[in-house]
Structure 1
C-alpha cells in the first residue's frame, strides 16, 4: 500500500510539472493598426465662419427698415 501511495504522489507531482509550461515565449501575432491621416491645419478651418459672417453683415447692411423720417411722396 505504501508503494502504491508513493507512486501516486510521484505521478501527481510529475504530471503537475509536465503541465506547468516551459520557458519558450508564446507566438503572438502583431497588431496591425491603420494610420489615420492628420486633419489639415491652417486657414482652411476659418474660411467658412468668415463667409458666414460676411453674409450676415451683408444682410444687415441691406436692411431697409431704418427708423428715419420717410421721404415725401410727390404725386
Structure 2
C-alpha cells in the first residue's frame, strides 16, 4: 500500500512538470489610438455665420 501511495504521489508530481509548453508565448502588439486634435481655426464657425447674415440682409432689403 505504501508503494502504491508513493507511486501515486510521484506520478502527480511528475505530471505537473509537463503541464506547460516549450513554445514561445504569443504576445499581441498593443493597439495605439491617436486622438485627433481639435481645429484651432474659428473660420469653420464664422464663415457660415457671415454668409447667413449676408443672405438675411439681402432678404430683408428686398
TM range (shorter): 0.5 to 0.7
State the TM-score, normalized to the length of structure 1. 0.49
The Cα offsets for residues 19-74 of structure 1, whole Å up to 9 and x where unpaired, read as 267xxx83313135475654543133121122122212221232xxxxxxxxxxxx
**Structure 1: runs of 5 or more not aligned:** 63-75
State the TM-score, normalized to the length of structure 2. 0.55
**Structure 2: runs of 5 or more not aligned:** none
- Aligned-pair Cα RMSD in Å: 3.3
Higher gyration radius (CA): 1
- What is the number of residues matched between the two proteins? 60
- Moved >6 Å (runs of 4+): none
Structure with a larger share of its residues in helix = 2
